[in-house]
Amino acid sequence: MIYIIPALICISITLSIFKKRDVYSDFIDGARDGFEILRSIIPPMIAISVAAQMLKVSGAPDMLYNAVYPVCAAIGFPKEVIPLVIVRPLSGSGAAGILNGILKDSGADSRAGLIASVINGSTETTFYCMCVYFSMTRVKNTLKALPCAVIGDITGVIMAVIMVNLLFF
């Protein structure tokens, strides 16, 4: 496994020499293209990171948590998983941190741990992906994509709860 990248480099150099191409200039062209891609991705990434931090500092996730907790308790949704559902559409790394905390506190085989794991695997960082991918492809009209993506995330959460409850508890 650790030899994959060196093997790819060797194969690339060998193919370039076999095709009688200038390996160094091909490398420089690839690096230039990589920087162009990076240059176009960085602004949306900064924007979504700032927006996520502003949302967190505003206290909106806590207000949302308090608003949905009674409904979640009534349907048997673990309260430990609510922060994951709130953060997952915004930040994959934030969701991974919350999932890690749930698994440490509740255990990987607990109901909350299983539901959180399935949610983390079956939902997407919707707003982050839309921001980055649509800006890269210069899509301006995202009005139809956003509701579909949110419905997909909600469906993933509901199905996670149903399947874990059916199969494990």
Mean pLDDT for all residues in the chain: 87
This prediction has a pTM of 0.67
Quickly list DSSP for 52-106. HHHHHHHTHHHHHHHHHHHHHHHHT--GGGHHHHHHTTT-HHHHHHHHHHHHHHH
pLDDT computed for residue 60 by the predictor:
81
How far apart CA 96 and CA 148 sit, in angstroms, is 24
Residue 156 has pLDDT above 90, yes or no: yes
pLDDT computed for residue 65 by the predictor:
79
Q: Which among 151, 166, 156 is positioned nearest to 76, based on CA atoms?
A: 166
Q: What is the rounded average pLDDT of the residues 137-146?
A: 82
Tens digits of residue pLDDT in 18-48: 888 888 888 888 889 989 888 888 887 788 7
Highest mean pLDDT: which range of 50-64, 69-83, 112-126: 112-126
How far apart CA 87 and CA 153 sit, in angstroms, is 12
Domain regions of the chain by residue span: 39-168
**Neighbour-count burial of 51, counting CB atoms closer than 10 A to its CB (0-12 exposed, 13-18 middle, 19+ buried):** middle
Q: What is the rounded average pLDDT of the residues 73-86?
A: 86
